[in-house]
Structure 1
Amino acid sequence: MTWARNVEQENSTGHEWAEAVNATGNGFSVVGHTNSRRPGVQQAWVLQFDKAPPPLWERTYGGGEPGTGTLGRAIVAAPGGGLIVAGEEQLAVGRFRGWLLVLSPEGDVLWERTPGHVGVNGLNAIAVLEDGSPVAGGVQDGAGWVVRLDSRGNRLWDVALPQVEHVTALVALPAQRIAVLGTSETSTVGLGISRLLFLESDGRATAEKRLPTEGQGELNALASLPDGGLIAAGRLSHSNSMDKHLWVVRMDSRGEILWEYSSSQLDAGRAIAVFPDGGVAVGGYSWKDFLVDREATVWRFSADGRLLWQRSYGGAGDDMGYGIARLADESLVVVGMTSSQGAGKTDLWTFGLSPEGQPLWEASFGSP
């Protein structure tokens, strides 16, 4: 088993990745993971920035013996300052559970919770309701899962959503309601379908929409708009094709589709930033020639669905955009992964853009 040990050793360090970004005041916070601080151990990694690098502070969280650790999947601002991180804790090979972490504005741990049980389980979406209670979504026991806690970390309720195999995104609605996006009928060779569910304040599902109405498509990101509507982004397969293309869906407050956009290239939407006029920027990635490597891509849409501009970013290697946020000055920040630069095999990557998509700054963070 010499070759297996070599592969394990090769991948035990040098990999950093950003999963999500959240605008916080005049700056932004980033969550991801690293296996370089403690080789062989995955740790959640949070970085807090002003308007641009270097970070004001950065810290890692969790992690024990090799083969265990924590992964940060989503981040949101906590009421009154601070941050809430959602992800998963790995206890052993193939044994995971949901993980929630609340931090002070300086990155100190205020409380930490693992609200579910052990399995192939985890959390990958987080939002805060009007009353300040956090609600998170992910997967538990092969079904979509949503859990709501109070501001002190006490569990109020959790519900299984058998309509979907896992929750991909959720947003807070008025009156403590929640819009939940999930995926079902997933496959290793093609796309499944997405379902949009509306939950009442006690977790009861009261409405459901299939997306797309025909064919196959998976939506990974969901955001609320200034007029109370919703917008989602992901990937769509066109008729009689296995190719996957950017897919953006604009809906009203009930989930009725107002407009859709799909590209002709091989690409995917991973995150959404909303502008005050109802326009959005979608962050994701596009495949380069020969489908070997990817490049980070941002698409800017008007409120009525017109594509205003599209730009790609990165170098000669594999580069992906995973999160996007609009800052107070209307600029954009994108986070993800790069293998085109930096010290490690893959580095956490972030860059800033003007509202028109022009690069403002760029930085990568990692270890060899």
Structure 2
Amino acid sequence: MRPILSLVILVPLCGGLVYGGWQKTFGGSSWDAGYAALEFDDDYWIFGRYVVDGVRACALVVDEDGNLQHQYFFGPTDEFSAIFDAKIFQDSLIVVCGHAGYSYDSDLWIAAIRPDGSVKWTLRHDIDYGTDSALALDILEDSLIFVAGVAETTYESDSPFEKCGVVLKINPDGTIATSRFFTNSENFLSINAIKVLPLGAYIIGGTMDIGGSAYRGYIAKIDADDSIIWWDTIPYPRHGIYDITTSDDANFFAVGYSVCPATYGTEVSVINFNGSGEINWTQHYSLSSRDEGYDMVLSPDGAVIIGETYGGPGYMDGKNMFLLKISASTGDSIAVDFYGGTDDDVGYGIMRDDMGNLIAVGYSCSFGETEGDIYVIKTNDVLPVKEPPLLAGYEVGAFPNPFNRSVVISLPTDAEQVVIYDATGTKIDEFTPDGSAFRWSPPANCGSGIYFVRAHFSDTSSAEAKILYIK
């Protein structure tokens, strides 16, 4: 067994890092990843998976300077297990959720961990033969634990297995109080996020297969008796939700991704909605050709999203972790920073400590000594305003997107002509680019709405990006 590594990354990657901030990786013998973090007893607890005598669920404890204090592993050595979410419970315990089992047959796994890393109780819930996983949890007044996830199950002996959403309510002693399945006929439905409300109602979010190779983000409000109050799907052909965060004004943010119809790439998506399910605003953010947002945390002057993007500034390549700050009231982009190197680096979870610092976790293939190590970053949220990454191949990028004054368009260097159209197909602007990036300001007679930037190349091919102008 290779001992755990704690490597300080000295490459100057992150404009958001300030004095006292740091980046480190922690690695087992192969593919490791961090999915969630929290602050407990003045230390940072990092949760995820770690390859040591098997693929184990893990909790790494580091101090404020990123020095490893303890490492705890859970689950049998001959199975695959991981922790995806964690919350402090009754001030003295950490409740975690994830899965345990094998790639073809895993169970929902929930445990209560003491500050010394010992387990007070564990619950392994085998719904049926197939892949089951607990993806998110929340707490109701230290009296009830809500766990959401996905299960592969069947209700009739002659029906095929189907993926359905599941919510478990768990008592403080680790016994199941209730279980509730959420299905969409014979189509896939996954619950990736849950937010508990006062008196026991809760909001869930995830992804629903609507047939025809299309899927949509799914949100619903459920009462304390597990009856659906309302539900809705996000009106985009392909959309998914990974996290739900409550705002200070009692509205909700649903964070995930959407597929851009013009380019078929993915964009970071944020939906702001109220407790009745009415959508206040929707924003999409295009940092490269493929972007996804996985988690969000509120900040004093906005909200910060963590996720993955393809490509990055300068020397970056492959996937890279990003932190994107937006306005909590309008969703307008404020700043962005990229983290990573020349290989794949992804961010999955983010938290804010008592001093206002951001702790971001994910995995890194650019640093460390294995094929993938747990990647942890500590920084503040004064993120720099950066130009978008230059894109490889016949792809067009735009940042910020949406925009309200001007937008920076990034192009492959061999683009010969750029034409901008409005949503009706009317040509708005046309020019020959000089370089790989330029700033475009809409003419005064252009109104708010969707526009398309189309780049043409010498081989007669073209690439297109959708931009949203908010006047």
Pick from 33, 50, 57 the counterpart of residue 49 of structure 2: 33
TM-score by length of 1: 0.86
Deviation at residue 14 of structure 1 after TM alignment: 1.5
Aligned pairs for 1:1-368 (under 5 A) are: 13-24=29-40, 26-35=42-51, 37-38=52-53, 41-65=54-78, 68-90=79-101, 92=102, 94-118=104-128, 119-140=130-151, 141=153, 142-163=163-184, 165-185=189-209, 192-211=215-234, 213-264=235-286, 265=288, 266-276=290-300, 279-288=302-311, 293-304=318-329, 305-357=331-383
- 1:19 Cα deviation from its structure 2 partner: 1.3
The structural deviation recorded for 1:24 is 3.5
Q: Distance in 2 between matches of 1:168 and 1:191?
A: 18
**Cα distance change on mapping 1:26 and 1:229 into 2, 3 Å:** farther
Deviations 1:240-294 (A, max 9, x none): 44211111111222232112211233311011111256x21000011017x9711
> Cα distance, 1:131 vs. partner?
4.4
Are 2:236 and 2:258, in contact at CA under 8 Å, matched by a contact in 1?
no
SS in 1 for 2:68: coil
Offset, 1:186? 7.5
Letter in 1 for 2:73: T
Residue 143 of structure 1 deviates from its aligned partner by 0.5
Cα distance change of structure 1 residues 49 and 251 upon mapping to structure 2, 3 Å threshold: farther
8 A contact 1:330–1:354 mirrored in 2: yes
TM-score (norm 2): 0.68
- Three-state SS of the structure 2 residue aligned to 1:175 is helix
* 1:149 aligned partner, one-letter code: I
Gaps of 5+ in 1: 1-11, 359-368
Residue 21 of structure 1 and its aligned partner are, at CA, apart by 1.8
Against the structure 1 CA distance between its residues 114 and 324, is the aligned structure 2 distance closer, same or farther, given a 3 Å change threshold?
A: same
Mean CA deviation greater in 23-32 or 135-144: 23-32
**Residues of 2 paired with 1:190 and 1:350: CA distance?**
36
Q: Does the 8 Å CA contact 1:338/1:347 hold for their aligned counterparts?
A: yes
Deviation at 1:89, TM superposition (A): 1.0
Between the aligned partners of 2:91 and 2:173, the Cα distance in structure 1 is 13
SS of the counterpart of 1:185? strand
CA deviation digits over 1:326-357, x for unaligned, max 9? 11111111100001111211000101111213
| Letter aligned with residue 57 of structure 2 | A
Report the secondary structure of 1:107's partner residue. Answer: coil
Residues in 2 aligned to 1:307 and 1:151: alpha-carbon distance in whole angstroms: 41
- Cα deviation, 1:79-99, whole Å, max 9, x if unaligned, reads 222211111111x45111100
Q: Please report how far the alpha carbon of residue 25 of structure 1 lies from its aligned counterpart in structure 2 after TM superposition.
A: 5.7
Letter in 2 for 1:84: V
Q: 2:125 is paired with a residue of what secondary structure?
A: coil
C-alpha displacement at 1:229, in angstroms? Answer: 1.3
Partners of 1:82 and 1:186 lie apart in 2 by 40
For the 8 Å contact 1:26–1:327, the answer to whether it is kept is no
Structure with greater Cα Rg = 2
The answer to whether the Cα contact below 8 Å between 1:229 and 1:252 also exists between their aligned partners in 2 is yes
Query: Are the aligned partners of 1:190 and 1:242 in contact in 2 as well (CA < 8 Å)?
Result: no
CA RMSD of aligned residues (A): 2.2
1:149-181 Cα offsets, whole Å, 9 max, x none, are: 111111110010004611111111111111111
Q: Contact (CA 8 Å) 1:30, 1:75: kept in 2 or not?
A: no
